[in-house]
Amino acid sequence: MTDTILFVDDEPGILNSLKRELHDWARESQIRILTAPSAREGLKLVEAEADRFMVIVSDLKMPEMKGSDFLLEVDRRWPKIVTVLLTGFSETQELMKAVKAGIFSYILKPWEPDYLRSELVKAVESYRMHRQNEAYANTMLDELRWAGEMQRAVLKPNLQTSDGVEFRSSYRPVPGLFCGGDYYDVISMGADRYLLLLGDVAGHGVRAAFVTLMLKAIIYPEYVRLATAKSFSPAAFLSWLNERLKFELRQTSDLIVTFMAGLLDRQAMIFTYANAGHNHPVLITDAGPRELPVSGPGLGFAGSVTYIDKKETLSAGDVLLLYTDGLVEAGAKGNDGPAVSVRDILSVTPYGAEYHKRILETALERSGAPDFEDDVTLLTARLE
């Protein structure tokens, strides 16, 4: 593909002079020079091979279609092409149109050959740098998509099927980043016991996602797999995880991790839970949603932290909801607290089909925000 500069002018002598003066420079730079005697002819040339044009240099005062209108049309249809105005006229209104079209440079006739070449060199460099940056951005976007797919594949829990519990999970990273800092899992402990885990690594993107994958790599093989289900203590687990993260993250003191762990015993109808600075889990009963308020410090700040186990008796039809703070922080920038209460969201969102989808929609509707500004994860367990 040959990089091309197009000159548009209704005076043949001007076009011939430009081609003659720029011949050697264009050949050395491996740039093709094309000319058009009118704006309409110029548009036809660009339409035929738009991807080849780097720079378009246009006269201002031409019959049929003025250069300012021509450059506006180019900017509308091919905004990546760099445009330059080359004219002997200075009509204010037309110059304002050209400025609106985003012209890169404005060169007066009669031009100085050295100045003309220097402006073209800068215009070409601007075009190529823009394309290079675009290529880098596309590469980064592809990498983020891949990281997001990998994170989803690794973290997605194998939701247990049980006659007594219905589990659901939803994960929604920050729009445009594809991956984030929410960790979630449901692990069968045998005998109708299930471990519900939900964590939130501060920040977004690959850095936070990397920590969630680290959590996945250590939690089950190093602790849960070796634990005894009957005597499993979420508080003891969080104390262990705190020490483990304090060691692993010792070089990243600015990293904040909150975590919620709960053991659901379906036979005993008891939920035993502990909390390390995370949003309180919510128990939804016939009387409405109720937060389960127990908490301790976040993970990795200090050693030898003792967490507390709390027990909650459950009934058939109850729903446990674990969530990350992105759910209630949409539209909260600049505020001291959440934009919306989780209880307000759940009180108008009855359990049923597309439950998580409706919770997310209600959160956005109540907050007035167009989209979530942080990762959002929902994990629910409904007792049959």
Domain-wise residue ranges, the chain: 3-136, 156-383
Q: What is the pLDDT of residue 251?
A: 65
Question: Which amino acid makes up residue 60?
Answer: L
The predicted pLDDT at position 194 comes to 94
Question: 3-136 is classed in which CATH architecture?
Answer: 3-Layer(aba) Sandwich (3.40)
Superfamily per CATH, domain 156-383: PPM-type phosphatase domain (3.60.40.10)
- In eight-state DSSP terms, residue 354 is T
CA 12, distance to chain mean position in Å, is 51
Three-class SS of residue 200? strand
Q: For the chain, give percent helix, strand, coil, nearest 5.
A: 40, 25, 35
Q: What per-residue confidence (pLDDT) applies to 93?
A: 63
Provide the residue count of the chain. 384
- pLDDT tens, the chain, 384 aa long: 579 999 999 999 999 999 999 999 999 999 999 999 999 999 999 999 999 999 999 998 888 888 888 988 999 999 999 999 888 766 656 666 666 667 888 788 888 889 999 999 999 999 999 888 888 877 777 776 777 777 777 777 777 667 789 999 999 888 777 788 899 999 999 888 999 999 999 877 777 888 888 899 899 999 999 887 678 999 999 999 999 998 887 766 667 899 999 999 999 999 999 999 999 999 999 999 999 988 899 998 777 889 999 999 999 999 999 999 999 987 766 555 567 899 999 999 999 999 999 999 999 998 888 889 888 999 999 998
Q: What is the pTM of this model?
A: 0.68
DSSP letters, 85-127, are EEES---HHHHHHHHHTT-SEEEESSPPHHHHHHHHHHHHHHH
